[in-house]
Every structure is written in C-alpha cells, then in structure tokens.
Amino acid sequence: MSELAKEMLKRGIASPFDLTEEDKWVNNATRKDVENVAREHNSKVFGLKFWSWKKKRGKELLDVKNFEVDLIFKDEDEAKVDKIISEYENGKKDTVKTINELFDLAILDCFWV
C-alpha cells in the first residue's frame, strides 16, 4: 500500500477528491512514495513533468520537490514515453490520448496539493 493511501486511510479519507490544498501531508506522503519507488527499482526509474517534459532520473528522485514530477516510469519504458511525447508534439496524438497513454505506462502517479 502506498504511503499516500496509508495516510488517507489513517485520516478516514476515502477519495483524493476530498483533499484540499490545506492537506499538506499529502505532499510528504507523495514524496515518500516517489522515494520508495526509486529505491525499489534500484534507481532505474525516471520522473516526468507534464508539458515541459523535463525528466528527473533515478537518485535525483530521492530528493524530489513538490510538483517537480507528475509520473514515474521504469527506465526500460523511456523509448515508449519519448515516442508518446513526440507524437503529441507533432500533432499525431491529442491531449487526452497522450495523458491516458502516459498514465497507463507509469508505475506511479504523483499527487500534489
């Protein structure tokens, strides 16, 4: 169970839609989830920031800041991620399809408030 899910359960929150910008503990839990995924995969992962498409790699994720990355992927999926982004930038994919494909490929989505 993710750190975020544990914290939500502890606080009796059933849905992320019930969270607000006042729930700053969400960011700490999300950071811990990112760090855990990086460690579990021996830093063979990268984080991606939507729309700027900036990447943070492996051990850089151990010190991730709020909103620096939106999704985490395995390194082995980087070519697929790059292809999805390239197709979007070249007008071959619409925004919804791009987001859906990236979320489907990600091993963690980051929830920041």
Residue 64's domain spans which residues?
Answer: 3-109
Question: Mean pLDDT, the chain, as a whole number?
Answer: 96
Cα separation, 21 vs 16, whole angstroms = 11
The CA distance from 8 to 113, in Å, is 14
Q: What angle do CA 41, 73, 68 make, to 5 degrees?
A: 105
Look at phi and psi of residue 50 and say left if phi exceeds 0, alpha if psi is from -120 to 50, else beta.
beta
pLDDT (average), residues 58-84:
97
In this predicted structure, what is the pLDDT of residue 29? 97
Per-residue confidence band for 32, with pLDDT thresholds at 50, 70 and 90:
very high
Single-letter code of the amino acid located at 87: E
Q: What's this model's pTM, rounded to 2 decimal places?
A: 0.93
Query: What's the residue count for the chain?
Result: 113
Confidence class for position 83, pLDDT limits 50, 70, 90: very high
Distance from C-alpha of 76 to C-alpha of 81, rounded to nearest angstrom: 10
Task: Write the pLDDT tens digit of every residue in 51-66.
Answer: 999 999 999 999 999 9
User: What's the token pair of residue 43?
Assistant: 């830093």
Number of domains forming the structure of the chain? 1
Average pLDDT value for residue range 40-45: 97
Residue where the block lists tokens 């980051």: 110
